[in-house]
A and B are shown apart, each in its own frame.
Chain A
Amino acid sequence: MTALTLRVAAKEPLTPLVTRFRFEHPEGARLPLFSGGAHVVVEMTDGNQLRRNAYSLISDPNDGSGYEIAVRREDAGRGGSRFMHGRVAAGDLIRVGAPVNLFSLDLRARKHLMIAGGIGVTPFLAQIRQLDRLGQPYELRYAARSRAEAAGLRLLPRSPRVHVHISDEGGRMDLGGLLAGQPLGTHVYTCGPEGLIAAVEETAARLRWPRAALHSEAFLAPPPGRPFTVRLARSGITIEVGPHESLLEAIEAAGVDAPWLCRGGACGQCETAVLSCRGEIEHHDHWLDAGDRASRTKIMPCVSRFAGEELILDR
């Protein structure tokens, strides 16, 4: 994983829960450009714990002068977003990985319809700038619970293509009407809570949208959970995974090299073979299919956990 050491050039609260960060190269060098929908992995050294969280880039993909992200504080999370909010300050140096895109635009689309729920608006902020540059038609629907929580209001351009739905104010989105009214060749992109993604998929299926025209990103942060013990057979060690630590983080903390890319259960890179499993794997990823899960022979250590007597991995 190639990472750059960047300086925190700005830190700005957008709402009580969401803060924007801007990173620039300390010597002013240009950063690699990216495509709308890309994320970066930010490394956080918290005492002797190294956390790596993925955040969508919200700045202009064609602007190499800096990268911007918006971080929502998750008080029930493992602590990465709390660290970003509480411990990272303007002027700090921080390690940021190269942009990776697992939610890119399908440029064959005749029109791009984007549906954002809450902090799920972030990948679209870069995508609409890319589409503006390409001159391709789009429509963005942004749904938030209340105006106070809607960080997107500070980030979205005023444009007839951008529509805001605040549920507190009765502005709920009519998914059926929205999807039924799209021209042929439209692709729909959804990013937000699982419920929103499921609702869009169900509505689209009911209206007979082609499957290939549906895109979604349910980017997962590794969930906290109960501590558990894992045996790494190839390394010949046994490790403890703490309640606020992912299995992948515990493997790394033990000094064992493991592949990874998205750290959110989407890319498949960290897939690891399970040699023995007496207990239940708590699969939280979007990579393994039902057959993989039933066979109990694979695990995605970036997001998944375990409860039971014994888990032995080929690592």
Chain B
Amino acid sequence: MTIRFNEETFRDDYTFYNSPQAIRRFPFPFDRDDYMYSVNMEPHAGGPEGSVFERRFDVDEHYVAEMRDRAITLDEDPLRCQSLPHMELAGWDLLELIMTCKAEDYPDLFELRRDGDQWHWINRPLGIEQRFTFLDAGTLPHGPMEYITRQTQGDFAVLDQREGNLWMDAGMVTSQADWSLDFDIGMNFFEWHAPVPKAHEMGIFQRALKFLMNVQQGAPSRRLNWTMTVNPRLDTSPENYHKWGPEKRELTPENVGAKQYLRVELQSFWRLPRSNALAFPIRCYLIALEDLVSVPKWGRRLHRVLRDLPDELAEYKGFAVNRPLIVDYLARFDDGAPTSPGIYPD
């Protein structure tokens, strides 16, 4: 496969765009016409050809631009990437996992040659060639987790497993839906989920934790999560709320289709072999409403989901203020026809 990488930005002039193929393969998160939390896990073991689920770490047309955007964010705020001292081994695990997966899944883009501990990594899209000694952090320009996640789309939380809990002890977080690694670092699973409404009462987190603690090597799982973002901005962080928060007030009936984005996270969960830590990649996909409604099933279904969503969820996801505007816009694309089950276009 060959990918043409977009020349685009995720800030300032926001020139981000999705090609027709990118729209077609967008991971639409709703398999029915209403939404409530669930521990909607499934094995991360491939998916339909061309879909974002097909390969273990999806690389798409936004790759190069996203990595450029991550570098800008890190330049301005190095604390977006943190790893507590005991997590370095997990960082090497993650580096090995991503390098081997990418070299196998995209042999024309990435190459890994290993001779014992002497490794040679080639990343063609980013023009990187690196020789290093595995498990010797002094031979890389950054720590192992930072090194590989500067070359991999999506945020990464690396969770230590101990005392019957998971601990947010390392991460690379620059394209987040309004949460902060610097705030959450060192917290356990219940502490960092404390702000989520309703789910605690539903026992969601107890069940999710039990599931995650039992994720096994070689058997990763995945789920989709979603929110709404005004403008195609990756860095919707609490640290920079003053930059993107006010943009929510710029929506009008005329521009809502172009400026309002559905933001979908493809979350996956991987047991790391050497450290027994859990890697939690959170890959962000953005689509403008006007592109989304080009798939009729998605236009109908998103209208119904957002119209009927409980208020506290719209509030938590940060778009309550614009919900009437969004629902009015989407109503124009909902003729009331039934929709087919599943997330894929008809």
Contacts and interface: CB of A to CB of B under 8 A. Distances in A.
Bind each other: yes
Interface of A: 1-2, 32-35, 37-38, 61-62, 98-101, 104, 106-108, 130, 133-134, 212, 261, 267-269
A2 B89 contact: no
A36 B163 CA distance: 17
B216 A2 contact: yes
30 contacts: A2-B219, A32-B218, A32-B273, A34-B217, A34-B274, A35-B273, A35-B274, A35-B275, A37-B276, A38-B276, A62-B274, A98-B217, A98-B219, A99-B217, A100-B216, A100-B217, A104-B162, A106-B162, A107-B86, A107-B160, A107-B275, A108-B85, A134-B89, A212-B163, A261-B214, A261-B216, A267-B214, A268-B214, A269-B210, A269-B214
Contacts of A107: 86-87, 89, 160, 275
Contacts of B275: 35, 107
Given A2-B216, A107-B86, A107-B160, 18 more contacts: A2-B218, A33-B274, A35-B273, A35-B275, A37-B276, A98-B216, A98-B217, A98-B219, A99-B217, A99-B273, A104-B162, A106-B86, A107-B89, A107-B275, A108-B86, A130-B274, A261-B216, A268-B214
A104 B276 contact: yes
A134 B135 CA distance: 9
Nearest to A99: B217
Interface of B: 84-87, 89, 135, 160-163, 210, 213-214, 216-219, 273-276
B181 to A, nearest CB: 19
Contacts of B210: 268-269
A158 to B, nearest CB: 26
A104 B159 CA distance: 14
A312 B115 CA distance: 57
Nearest to A61: B274
Query: Which of A61, A107, A212 has the largest count of B CB atoms less than 10 A from its CB?
Result: A107
Contacts of B217: 32, 34, 98-100
Query: Which of B86, B162, B276 has the largest count of A CB atoms less than 10 A from its CB?
Result: B276
A34 B273 contact: yes
B269 to A, nearest CB: 15
Contacts of B218: 2, 32, 98
Contacts, number: 55
A168 to B, nearest CB: 36
A34 B163 CA distance: 19
B276 A35 contact: yes
A34 B85 CA distance: 20
Contacts of B273: 32-35, 99
B185 to A, nearest CB: 14
Nearest to A130: B274
Contacts of B85: 108
A107 B167 CA distance: 13
A130 B273 CA distance: 12
Nearest to A109: B86
Contacts of A101: 276
A172 B161 CA distance: 34
B271 to A, nearest CB: 9
B144 to A, nearest CB: 14
Contacts of A61: 274
A1 B214 CA distance: 11
B33 to A, nearest CB: 30
B103 to A, nearest CB: 16
Contacts of B160: 107
Nearest to B219: A2
Contacts of B89: 107, 134
A108 B90 CA distance: 13
Nearest to A62: B274
A209 to B, nearest CB: 14
A134 B213 CA distance: 24
